[in-house]
Amino acid sequence: MKDSAINKEGLSRIDGRLKVTGAARYSAEYTPAGMVYGVLVGSTITKGSIRSIDTKAAEKAPGVLAVISHFNCPKIPGYQIASTEAGKPEPKGTYKLFYNNKILFNGQPIAVVVADTFERALFAATLVKAQYTSQAYQTSLKNNTASAFAAGENGESKRGTVAAWKTAPVKLEQEYVIPSEVHNPMELHSIIAHWDAEDKLTVWDKTQGVKDTQDGIANIFKIPKENIQVNSKFVGGAFGSALQVWPHEVAAIIAARVVKRPVKLMLGRADMFTSVGYRPHTWQKIGIGATEDGKLVGISHEAIGQTSTYEDFNEEPVSVSRSTYACPNVNTNYKLTALDIGSPTWMRGPGEATGAFALESALDELSYALNIDPIELRLKNYAETDPESGKPFSSKYLNEAYKMGADHIGWTDRSPKPASVTKDGWLIGYGMGGGMFGAYRDQATCRAVMIADGTLLLQTAVSDIGPGTGTAMVSIAAEIMDIPAGKIRFEMGDSSLPYAPSQGGSSITATVGSAVNDACKELKEKFSQLAGNTETPDYTKILKDHNLSKLEVTTASKGGDNMNKYAMYSWSVHFVKVCVHPTTGVVKVDKVVCVADSGHIVSPKTARSQIVGGAIGGIGMALMEEVIIDHRYGKLVNNNFADYHIPVNADIPQIEALFINKPDPYINPMGAKGMGEIALIGMAGAVANAVYNATGKRIRQLPITPDKLIGINQSAMVNGS
Ligand code: MOS
């Protein structure tokens, strides 16, 4: 490579300077002429119906342009009558805002107030008073598991003999519970909606996928999707909450139509807890059994997660038990309970993160029951081919990852006896936990344009929610085109660009990277043909010689047969060292090592950052994050950062992110697999396992807050001395 060749550490973020200087503009930071502000009014009851809404005071308040509710909302042509069986939730994402007088959850938007300033809209929203008829409601998963119904098709499965674990010489059965967790990215969800004409709309919207948002809006408002321009140039973090069109987006679009001006609607932090989904509270039970020498005999994995009464959200909490370890007998069952709470949604490692907490905890419990080292136990049951499909893995170096992680955390310092190591008055423990997630490759198209001045322009409609997609794409292009990264401009976050899928499911480097790869190769080939040779072309000279201002290709890319021939997964293993205070029960994470087996690492710096971010999310899940609902009122009570805790710098030690960095030969030309989800999946189990090793106390209900460990003082003395 030439002068500014990308060194081994990889490119720094191409948009890093824009982001840290404030020059990057997020969706709420545009000001189209005449823009006004929308603020939502939420239901103060949990279930029932609206009798009336008094909007008079709000309408008379200074600067107010409109108050819209189901009483005066224009007809929304895309709203369909329920197609689902009576009494069952409808498919995810089909909630109809301002449709009727039904109240389905506390905080449900019942009106939107539009005013000329944000402050005036906010004030007027407080003047809107609704009268309700309340009904009895259910917000507790625990009290309602009896009404659970089957979740989708993938929930129920049988391999070999059902409940075979019960016949094993060493066995255990335990329940594991995670609370609901909220996404809480730094950037709040926001939209600016502007009708350019009767059937033509522009939005600046926080979204993980401009094309999916375009489709979603087109379906609701029944206008041609080509008439909808979606802009999402920068996204300040997202973990799944921006994968669908939510009610606040619909509200802003309706409001803009009514007042005939652009409307900005940004959720407040409290709204983020009730309006854009969450990881659902889930109960799980695992039965697991092994032979005396540690060969798994059977796993039984049940889960019941919560959904709303109006939408059917299901994920894959039990799938990890089918494919993580070689085990002849596995049966799974996954159900949903419909509660009077807003719908959950995908959140980083949706399903797998929940399931892996249970499975990796159970494996750890089994390791103590067998008196076998937890890594040893996993190696004894190492799956060489996918136990579920029988297909060969496209690549799997998880065994190397175990070794690398163990070396770096100092696993030999771990005592197999719980609560047996203390240092400076703290109990010390080590734990590990693994993660897996499907390595997906979707289809995408990239336009690559070489301009006369030697600038390479790459265009595709992906959005970058934080992992550094632009940086990874430029890295791929620089290598193929053999030009400095500084000469490459990557354009995205605009629905008028060539197709790319939503940034989700850890699939974008594999998907859009392939399109960038293929487009660059095709463009280079075109130059070679023009120049009549196949050597590395001098692009600017060739353009000049042929009197061209530019040369471009538009290339579509998708996976071939290999996608079906092989089972494709990314793998991770997390190692954690914790210190637990025996009197207060405070857990300090002292050291973290994460190893990812995610194929070739295209962009080492941003990959490291992605693993670190996921690990922090996993530590939050393990130790802090928990939605608390006061079931007397059906209301979420900790909808703020004072009461809902997430890790801050002081909670996080140095995190070592390591990569196997061996290309997957089958998934795509770069050999790259995803890592967004595996960065988090397995981490909560690793922390819980470390806490057990430190204290002898097994916490099976997240988060592991100090109150759950108080009293270890005594038990530590009994066990450890
Ligand atoms: Mo992720 S849950 O695919 O944003």
Answer for the pair 53, 275: CB distance below 8 angstroms, yes or no.
no
Q: What is the pLDDT of residue 257?
A: 98
d(CA 323, CA 335): 19
| Rounded distance from Cα 582 to ligand 1 centre (Å) | 37
Mean pLDDT value of segment 550-554: 98
- Which residue is catalytic, options 181, 249, 625, 677? 677
Closest atom of ligand 1 relative to the 242 alpha carbon: 4
Answer for the pair 658, 595: CB distance below 8 angstroms, yes or no.
yes
Closest atom of ligand 1 relative to the 345 alpha carbon: 2
| Rounded distance from Cα 72 to ligand 1 centre (Å) | 36
Closest atom of ligand 1 relative to the 504 alpha carbon: 3
CA-closest candidate to residue 571, choices 504, 662, 501: 662
How many C-beta atoms lie closer than 10 Å to residue 481's C-beta? 22
Residue 183 beta carbon below 6 angstroms from any ligand 1 atom: no
| Rounded distance from Cα 348 to ligand 1 centre (Å) | 5
Residue 493 beta carbon below 6 angstroms from any ligand 1 atom: no
List Cβ<8 Å contacts ≥24 apart for 411-419.
411/375, 411/575, 414/693, 415/693, 416/368, 416/371, 416/373, 417/720, 418/368, 418/692, 418/693, 418/694, 418/695, 418/696, 418/719, 418/720, 419/694, 419/695, 419/696, 419/712, 419/715, 419/716, 419/719, 419/720
pLDDT class for 18, splitting at 50, 70, 90?
very high
Residue 348 beta carbon below 6 angstroms from any ligand 1 atom: yes
Q: What is the pLDDT of residue 537?
A: 86
- Which residue, chain included where needed, has tokens 């001045």? 453
| Rounded distance from Cα 241 to ligand 1 centre (Å) | 8
Residue 211 beta carbon below 6 angstroms from any ligand 1 atom: no
Q: Would you call 53 helix, strand, or coil by DSSP?
A: strand
Q: What is the pLDDT of residue 719?
A: 45
> Which of 564-568, 600-604, 672-676, 713-717 is predicted with the least confidence, judged by mean pLDDT?
713-717
Checking if the pLDDT of 434 tops 50, the result is yes
Distance of CA 13 to the CA centre of its chain: 21
d(CA 265, CA 545): 52
Q: Would you call 513 helix, strand, or coil by DSSP?
A: helix
| Rounded distance from Cα 131 to ligand 1 centre (Å) | 38
If you write DSSP's letter for every residue of 242-273 in order, what string do you get? Answer: TSS--HHHHHHHHHHHHHTS-EEEE--HHHHT
Residue 242 beta carbon below 6 angstroms from any ligand 1 atom: no
Closest atom of ligand 1 relative to the 243 alpha carbon: 4
CA-nearest residue for atom 4, ligand 1, is: 240
Q: Which distant-in-sequence residues (6+ apart) come within 8 Å of 294 by Cβ? A: 370, 372, 376, 377, 380, 381
Classify residue 650 by burial, with Cβ atoms within 10 Å: 0-12, 13-18, 19+.
exposed
Give kind and range of the element (H or E) at residue 629: strand 629-630
Mean pLDDT value of segment 530-553: 91
103-154 pLDDT, tens per residue? Answer: 999 999 999 999 999 999 999 999 999 999 999 999 999 999 999 999 977 7
d(CA 537, CA 279): 50
Give kind and range of the element (H or E) at residue 133: strand 129-134
Mean pLDDT value of segment 531-549: 90
Enumerate the β-bridge partners of residue 578.
Answer: 429, 589
Tokens read off for 201: 């709309």
Closest atom of ligand 1 relative to the 241 alpha carbon: 4
How many C-beta atoms lie closer than 10 Å to residue 541's C-beta? 12
| Rounded distance from Cα 212 to ligand 1 centre (Å) | 14
| Known catalytic residue at 677 | yes
Q: What is the pLDDT of residue 490?
A: 98
Residue 350 beta carbon below 6 angstroms from any ligand 1 atom: yes
Q: Are strands 170-178 and 426-438 parallel, antiparallel or unpaired?
A: unpaired
Answer for the pair 211, 225: CB distance below 8 angstroms, yes or no.
no
Residue ranges of domains in the chain, CATH in brackets: 16-25+442-558 (3.30.365.10), 31-135+187-275 (3.30.365.10), 145-183+281-390 (3.30.365.10), 391-439+568-721 (3.30.365.10)
d(CA 482, CA 248): 45
pLDDT class for 639, splitting at 50, 70, 90?
very high
Closest atom of ligand 1 relative to the 347 alpha carbon: 2
Checking if the pLDDT of 1 tops 50, the result is no
Start-to-end Cα distance in the chain = 61
Residue 277 beta carbon below 6 angstroms from any ligand 1 atom: no
167-194 pLDDT, tens per residue? Answer: 999 999 999 999 999 999 999 999 999 9
Residue 504 beta carbon below 6 angstroms from any ligand 1 atom: yes
How many C-beta atoms lie closer than 10 Å to residue 226's C-beta? 11
pLDDT class for 720, splitting at 50, 70, 90?
very low
| Rounded distance from Cα 604 to ligand 1 centre (Å) | 21
Checking if the pLDDT of 499 tops 90, the result is yes
Residue 505 beta carbon below 6 angstroms from any ligand 1 atom: yes
Residue 346 beta carbon below 6 angstroms from any ligand 1 atom: yes
